[in-house]
Chains A and B, each alone.
Chain A
């Protein structure tokens, strides 16, 4: 009973406690960030002994004379590579040892949590003002911290310390992304952006099931409907039981995978680029309209409802998170999933390992008459790296970015890196070559055609390309000494195969079979304040319609969406469009 009583004070309590620690925390932060070098000049590298004015370029890889301690936080998943030593944690990542050796930077994690808890944990840290030195932010949190004047100006640090490779990446889009994250001439964050076509939606389907049932890969929604129905009713896995379903779907309807983006695109509806906020397309009058509330959505919902009734969607999809759906995919319970190019890399590789007969292929999404057009954003930048204002050495963040890119050169390449405890996606800050996948695709195919034994590349892309090249060769040679057949296939079929994930995406790009998401600004004020209520409204309405509520509920949803803040958002987005968009 006492516990219950405390519970009612829980929120004010936790907020108050954290707010109190906020004041205390600030002092600690600045103190902990560096016990060493108190004058920034002393920390510059040994290569420029002549005392120089601050604007001059410094050695991007220079070693600090005294150890600089940098605090970070991390939400992490288990390592992708099964060969990684068991029980490894991000603070034991081999990259950190190399970083210390090369630059004398010591990374301390304030906390490490599974990535599913990251958002919540980070929000709490934000509420308490207990921020690490280096921040990995989504756009919403970037906006918040910027407004609260918590971010360090990186202009000078970037100009002085960015390595040529990092600068090349940042300039690859004409400086467009960098500009998005600067304000009043101050560079407040370094964006990690990628080729926007990586977001292209394609359809992954079990070719072996199609063959068993003597069906063709679907090109229209009508054909997809028939195929999916057959996957439910005609026993595609030939085990004599009706235990398969058609299309994979998890409870978050718009997400980074196993969701409905590509499905709706097939109806010419463009509701989302993968989060709960609407995507924006150009309307007939030249203004931007939210794809989420367009009438085309209704047709899609009608079909989903029928799919649900006929068992093409799992009856309990509304209880399944992405992990549960992946279980179904791997167990061979479902034969179709909408998604991006990387599925073979995960989770389809496990499906292939479990059932060697499983033959997943990638096709352009079916549309109303003939293949449909996928939505593609103008920029793909999930996260940005910023530095807390209290950090003494903002340039250390830039140097760490240099470090990660530098590690791609041939001289650092190590085919046994996973066994030695290198986990690339536990290292932050980390920026990839925006054209990484395209580079792998062209370079590996070039090497394959010329029958080379090694990649000829000499630049910072060597490691990634060589790694995929070896996996591809192993896959063709059926060599499973380094990795399982599924893992090799996944590397090959996601990035290298002409009919694989990236191969099909390239064809779609060439054919111009896509529609752009026209809004690429930061979340507007109303999205920040009311977004989560609109999100709840959408999830609730759509899920209910799919599960059998009248499709006309959609009209009610549209009306509520608009009155609960949607109209304001439409206004704000169009204000942005007329002022800031590059048309």
Chain B
């Protein structure tokens, strides 16, 4: 009670978030019941028939499921690793830039695409990599054969991963830069006195200094292991690259929205969440055990 009196502004600030989470994250979980039903929308949850695990076995026996799961993992793992590495390198490099205006400018330029919608960007990227696009223009001016990037399974996957990392890297970079700013200046001064150059300073002060944040980001990122980026792929893919780019989310989308098989679609969703929960738990435990680091 005493704390409530003292800290009431904090409580006021936290409640909207809590309510939001309850309504939009916990409330809908009740909908998972349809994973075990032969769900008829107009009959609703209460009148639809329960069919146990049938939806799960139906989904796992779909011929495409293996391929789709594999695509999801490949794309998601690459995205996850690059989403840590690229921003980390960028943050370290920007930290070494001494001209402030330049560093600010680069930060903004890198962060900017984060705010663009895939709906817009998808079309632009398709054009950039098309046969008459600038990329093939450069290739042909170098005397190379043009490449149909968007119609080739290998290239398409790389483009999906590359463009998503390019678009989103600014976000993690800002977090890491903030963490670097939080490192006490006295540490650097002391290192300088001890004769450490900029390289050694980075290696022994900056990196260990932001390690907790990097671990935090990777734990959070692992929860999304089966999120390969729904919106982006949906906008950019085509039948020729289904083989390499059809992921769980696009699969669920077609199953749920176009075939209106809500039960099986919810079953895959639940399956995905189960995997994510397991992975987050393992990473969290590992981070705690080996690094003595905890979030909660």
Chain A interface helix/strand/loop/mixed: helix
| CB <8 Å contact, B24 and A13 | yes
A63 to chain B, nearest CB (A): 34
Cβ of B224 under 8 Å from chain A: yes
| CB <8 Å contact, B25 and A9 | yes
Write the B222-263 contact mask toward A (1 if CB under 8 angstroms, else 0).
Answer: 011011001000000011101100000100111111111110
Q: Which residue of B lies closest to A532 (CB)?
A: B259
Interchain CB contact (< 8 A) of B148 among A9, A123, A316: A316
A132 to chain B, nearest CB (A): 14
B190 to chain A, nearest CB (A): 34
Cβ of B269 under 8 Å from chain A: yes
| CB <8 Å contact, A8 and B272 | yes
Write the B192-221 contact mask toward A (1 if CB under 8 angstroms, else 0).
Answer: 000000000000000000000000010011
A11-B239 CB under 8 A given contacts A17-B28, A127-B262: no
Cβ of B45 under 8 Å from chain A: yes
Tell me the bound Cα distance from A255 to B255 in angstroms: 21
| CB <8 Å contact, A12 and B260 | no
A319-B269 CB under 8 A given contacts A123-B257, A536-B239: no
Cβ of B150 under 8 Å from chain A: yes
Tell me the bound Cα distance from A544 to B151 in angstroms: 10
Interchain CB contact (< 8 A) of A119 among B42, B43, B258, B276: B258
A397-442 contacts to B, CB under 8 A, are none
B14-68 contacts to A, CB under 8 A, are 24-25, 27-32, 34-35, 40-45, 62-64
| CB <8 Å contact, B148 and A19 | no
Kindly list chain A residues whose C-beta atoms are within 8 Å of the C-beta of B148. Answer: 315-316
A536 to chain B, nearest CB (A): 7
Categorize the interface residue count of chain A.
35 or more
Interchain CB contact (< 8 A) of A126 among B24, B64, B224, B260: B260
Interchain CB contact (< 8 A) of A9 among B258, B259, B265, B269: B269
| CB <8 Å contact, A13 and B220 | no
Cβ of A129 under 8 Å from chain B: yes
| CB <8 Å contact, B151 and A547 | yes
Kindly list chain B residues whose C-beta atoms are within 8 Å of the C-beta of A123. Answer: 257-258, 260
| CB <8 Å contact, B240 and A11 | no
| CB <8 Å contact, B42 and A533 | no
Kindly list chain B residues whose C-beta atoms are within 8 Å of the C-beta of A543. Answer: 238-240
Kindly list chain B residues whose C-beta atoms are within 8 Å of the C-beta of A544. Answer: 240
Q: Which residue of B lies closest to A253 (CB)?
A: B239
Cβ of A239 under 8 Å from chain B: no
Interchain CB contact (< 8 A) of B230 among A7, A124, A564: A7
| CB <8 Å contact, B273 and A9 | yes
Cβ of B270 under 8 Å from chain A: yes
| CB <8 Å contact, A251 and B238 | yes
Cβ of B126 under 8 Å from chain A: yes
B264-293 contacts to A, CB under 8 A, are 265-266, 269-270, 272-273, 276
| CB <8 Å contact, A8 and B276 | yes
Kindly list chain B residues whose C-beta atoms are within 8 Å of the C-beta of A23. Answer: 44
A531-B31 CB under 8 A given contacts A127-B41, A318-B151, A536-B239: no
| CB <8 Å contact, B260 and A150 | no
Kindly list chain A residues whose C-beta atoms are within 8 Å of the C-beta of B259. Answer: 529-533
A536-B28 CB under 8 A given contacts A11-B269, A12-B266, A319-B150: no
Cβ of B131 under 8 Å from chain A: yes
Q: Which residue of A lies closest to B127 (CB)?
A: A319
B106 to chain A, nearest CB (A): 23
| CB <8 Å contact, B151 and A120 | no
Tell me the bound Cα distance from A356 to B269 in angstroms: 55
| CB <8 Å contact, A319 and B151 | yes
B225 to chain A, nearest CB (A): 10
A259 to chain B, nearest CB (A): 14
Q: Which residue of B lies closest to A119 (CB)?
A: B258
| CB <8 Å contact, A11 and B254 | no
Cβ of A144 under 8 Å from chain B: yes
Q: Which residue of A lies closest to B238 (CB)?
A: A318
B230 to chain A, nearest CB (A): 7
Cβ of B130 under 8 Å from chain A: yes
Interchain CB contact (< 8 A) of A6 among B24, B31, B41, B272: B24
Tell me the bound Cα distance from A22 to B217 in angstroms: 38
Cβ of A44 under 8 Å from chain B: no
Interchain CB contact (< 8 A) of B63 among A4, A14, A126, A564: A564
A22-B41 CB under 8 A given contacts A8-B273, A13-B28, A127-B260: yes
Tell me the bound Cα distance from A547 to B239 in angstroms: 12
Kindly list chain B residues whose C-beta atoms are within 8 Å of the C-beta of A547. Answer: 151, 240
| CB <8 Å contact, A9 and B28 | yes
Kindly list chain A residues whose C-beta atoms are within 8 Å of the C-beta of B151. Answer: 316, 318-319, 547
Cβ of A31 under 8 Å from chain B: no
Cβ of A1 under 8 Å from chain B: yes
Q: Which residue of A lies closest to B32 (CB)?
A: A12
Closest 5 CB pairs between A and B?
A16-B31, A13-B28, A16-B28, A539-B239, A4-B224
Q: List 25 A-B contacts (CB under 8 A).
A: A1-B221, A1-B224, A8-B227, A9-B25, A9-B269, A11-B265, A12-B269, A13-B31, A15-B28, A15-B34, A15-B265, A15-B266, A16-B29, A17-B31, A19-B44, A127-B260, A148-B43, A316-B130, A316-B131, A316-B151, A319-B126, A529-B261, A532-B254, A543-B238, A560-B63
